[in-house]
Amino acid sequence: MAQGLDIKDGAAWWVILNEKSEYEWLWLLKSIDFWFAEHSSVWVKDKVVFFRLLATMVWAWMSLDKSLDVLQDQASSPKLKNIIKKILSMIQDWIEFSTAMTRFPDVFASSEVWLVKAWEKSWKLTVVLKNLADQIESSAQLTWKIKWAIMYPAMMVIVVLFAIVAIMIFVIPEIKKMFESMWAQLPQMTTMLINTSDYLTSKNKLIWLNNTLVLFMYIWLFVMWFIYFKKTKKWEKIYNLFMLRTPLFWSLIRKMVIAKFCRWLTILIWSWMSLINSLYLLSEMVWNEAYRLRILRIISDVKQWLDMSQNMKRDSLYFPPMLVSMIAVWEETAQLEEVSKKVAEFYEEEVDTAVNSLMSLLEPIIIVVVWLVIWWIIVAVMLPILSISDIVK
C-alpha cells in the first residue's frame, strides 16, 4: 500500500505508520481471542454433542481422523475446537485417542478416558461413545437439579443477610443511644450486637477499611489454601472418611457409585472385555477412593477363581444385599449384562429419589438457621429493655 510513495513525504510516513498500527491491532485482537479460547470452559452440552456426532460418524464407517476433522469445523466452543485440532494432530502421529485425551484433563475426565481406552481394546467405539454421551448428560442433569434445588434457600439466606446488615447499620445505633442514656449494664449478647454494629458504622473509615481488607485477605488465603488442599490425596482421604461417617450423604453416594458401577460394567462386558479388565477400568472410573480400593480387593479374589458375590457379601456397607443377590444370579445364569443393567436402572431411580429427599430437607434446615439468627438479634435487643422495666417496677 505504501509502495510508490516518497519516503521524504510526511504523508507516506503516516500511511506506513497506519499500516503497522493496523497489523499490530489485528495481531493483538487475535492474541486476545486465542487467550480467551484457551482459558474458556467447555460446556457439557458441547461435549455431549461431540461424542454423539463422533459415534454417528464412526458408525457410518468414517475414519477417526476424518471424523475429527469434520467435528473440528462443527464445534461451537473455541476451546473444544482447538482441542479437537490438537487431538487430530496427535492421532495423525500414531498416538492413541485415549492417550491424546489425557493431555486435556480439564476437559476430559479420567472415567471418559478409560472408557475410550476400553473401546481401543474392544473396537466397539460407537456403543462406548453413545453410552459416554448419555452418562455425561445424565450426570450434568443431576448436577443442575441439585443446583436449582438449592437456589431458593441460597437466595433466602442472601436476602436475610442484607436485612441483618441493614438492621446493624440503621436500627442498632439508635437502640445503642437509648441504652447509653439509661446507664444500664448490658448483657453479653447485646454487647456483641452493639460491637458488630459499631464496626459496620465506624466513623474512622481508615480503621474500618483496614479491618475489612484484613478480613478479606484472610478469607482469600483460606480459599487459596482450600483449592490447593482439595487437589491433594490427603483431602481425598478426609473427604471420603467424612462421607463414610455421614449417614445422609453416604446413602446417596453409595447409590450413585453402585448405579455407575453397574451401568459401566454392562457396557464393558458387552464390549467383549474380560471381567478382570472391566473391574480394573471401573476401579479407575469410580471417583470414590473407598470404592476403588474395595473393587481392587474384588479383582484379587476373582483372579483366584472366587465368586464376586462372595467377596461383596463380606461388606454390606459398600454393597447392599440386593446387589449381592443379583450378582449371585448372574454367576449362576451367565447373564451379567441384563442383570447389571436392571440393577443400574433401579439405583438410578433411587439416586433421583434420594436427591429430591435431600433437597426437600435442605429448605427447612436453612429456614430454622435463619430464624435462630433473627431470634438471637431480637433477644439481644429485648433483654436490656426487659431488665430495665423490671428495675423501674
- Model pLDDT for residues 231-251, shown as the tens digit of each residue: 777 777 777 767 666 776 777
Q: State pLDDT tens for residues 334-352.
A: 676 677 778 888 888 888 8
Q: State pLDDT tens for residues 145-179.
A: 767 767 777 787 788 888 888 888 888 888 787 77
Residues 353 and 245 in one domain: yes
Decide if 129 contacts 55 (C-beta within 8 A).
yes
Inside any domain, residue 11: no
Residues 98 and 175 in one domain: no
Q: How far apart are alpha carbons 209 and 203 in whole angstroms?
A: 11
Q: What percent of the chain has pLDDT over 70?
A: 79
| DSSP single-letter state for residue 169 | I
Residues 53 and 189 in one domain: no
Q: How far apart are alpha carbons 118 and 326 in whole angstroms?
A: 25
pLDDT on residue 390: 56
Q: What percent of the chain has pLDDT over 90?
A: 1
For residue 42, pLDDT over 60 is answered with yes
Give me the mean pLDDT over the 35-52 stretch. Answer: 75
Q: How far apart are alpha carbons 142 and 152 in whole angstroms?
A: 17
Give which of 292, 308, 227, 309 is closest to 253, Cα–Cα. 292
pLDDT on residue 242: 72
Inside any domain, residue 3: no
Residues 102 and 171 in one domain: no
The residue ranking higher by pLDDT, 52 or 131, is 52
> How many other C-beta atoms can be found within 10 angstroms of the C-beta atom of residue 386?
10
Residues 282 and 382 in one domain: yes
Decide if 189 contacts 220 (C-beta within 8 A).
no
Inside any domain, residue 239: yes
pLDDT on residue 204: 67
Q: Give the model's confidence band at 13: pLDDT under 50 very low, under 70 low, under 90 confident, else very high.
A: very low
- Quick check: helix, strand or coil at residue 336? helix
| DSSP single-letter state for residue 61 | T
Inside any domain, residue 222: no
For residue 181, pLDDT over 80 is answered with no
Q: State pLDDT tens for residues 100-117.
A: 988 888 888 777 787 787
Residues 116 and 49 in one domain: yes
Inside any domain, residue 39: no
Q: How far apart are alpha carbons 124 and 113 in whole angstroms?
A: 15
Q: State pLDDT tens for residues 52-67.
A: 888 888 888 888 888 8
pLDDT on residue 26: 61
| Verdict on whether the full-model pTM lies above 0.85 | no
Residues 97 and 191 in one domain: no
Domain's final residue, options 123, 139, 163: 123
Split into its structural domains, the chain has a count of 2
Inside any domain, residue 311: yes
Domain's final residue, options 106, 123, 140: 123
Inside any domain, residue 7: no
Average pLDDT along the chain: 76
Residues 339 and 383 in one domain: yes
Q: Give the model's confidence band at 392: pLDDT under 50 very low, under 70 low, under 90 confident, else very high.
A: low
CATH code (residue 247): 1.20.81.30
Average the pLDDT over each of 17-31, 211-225, 281-295 and give the range with the smallest value. 17-31
pLDDT on residue 6: 46
Residues 112 and 194 in one domain: no
Residues 263 and 369 in one domain: yes
Decide if 324 contacts 309 (C-beta within 8 A).
yes
Q: How far apart are alpha carbons 113 and 304 in whole angstroms?
A: 29
> Is 243 exposed, middle or buried (CB count within 10 Å of its CB: 0-12, 13-18, 19+)?
middle
Q: Give the model's confidence band at 184: pLDDT under 50 very low, under 70 low, under 90 confident, else very high.
A: low
For residue 387, pLDDT over 60 is answered with yes
Residues 258 and 381 in one domain: yes
Give me the mean pLDDT over the 37-62 stretch. Answer: 80
Give me the mean pLDDT over the 375-393 stretch. Answer: 71
pLDDT on residue 205: 63
Residues 112 and 178 in one domain: no
Inside any domain, residue 356: yes
Q: How far apart are alpha carbons 27 and 294 in whole angstroms?
A: 54
| Structural domain containing residue 59 | 44-123
Decide if 284 contacts 264 (C-beta within 8 A).
no
For residue 389, pLDDT over 70 is answered with no
